[in-house]
Amino acid sequence: MKTTNYSKIADKYDKNHFRVDEIKFEYDLKEYIENNVKAEYNVLDLSCGTGLYLEKQINYFDGININWYGLDLSDQMLKKANEKVKNIEFTNADVEEMPYHSETFDFISNNYAFHHYSEKNKR
């Protein structure tokens, strides 16, 4: 399987307008919130990259008490995400060895990255 070194392409990643334009309102998160009323929510974006998904969702869900988290293996992608979005807890780690306890998050998103995980058949 071909692997991509995302640290090497972090500076160019957001310049692909298809990638930027594809991210839409998260209807599944909206439905979850409507059906699970809570004082606050914890939402994780796996393989968050430069924070494109988080940036859009934060704007869409403004006014709802959501603690946003992003996890990515590439420190350079996370550096770009930190420049773009604030008040996010970013973690530099491998998705297949996440440093979180079970049931930490109410909602987990994963956009365009699952095919990169080498141990997906074990999950």
- The CATH number covering residue 33 comes to 3.40.50.150
So what's the pLDDT on residue 21?
Answer: 66
Distance CA 40, CA 48 (A): 21
In the chain, the number of structural domains is 1
Does a structural domain hold residue 121?
no
Does a structural domain hold residue 81?
yes
Does a structural domain hold residue 4?
no
Distance CA 45, CA 16 (A): 20
The SS3 of residue 42 is strand
So what's the pLDDT on residue 40?
Answer: 97
So what's the pLDDT on residue 98?
Answer: 84
Q: Are 72 and 97 in contact (CB under 8 A)?
A: no
Does a structural domain hold residue 60?
yes
Does a structural domain hold residue 8?
no
Does a structural domain hold residue 68?
yes
Band (pLDDT 50/70/90 cuts) for residue 17 is: low
> Does the pLDDT of residue 45 top 90, yes or no?
yes
Residue 91 structural domain? 13-114
What value does the mean pLDDT take over residues 104-119?
Answer: 71
Distance CA 53, CA 51 (A): 6
Q: Which residue has the tokens 């807890």?
A: 89
Q: How many CA atoms lie within 13 A of 43 on its CB side?
A: 25
Name the DSSP letter for residue 112. Answer: S
So what's the pLDDT on residue 115?
Answer: 45
> Does the pLDDT of residue 8 top 60, yes or no?
no
Q: Please, what is the Cα angle at 121 between 33 and 88, to 5 degrees?
A: 40
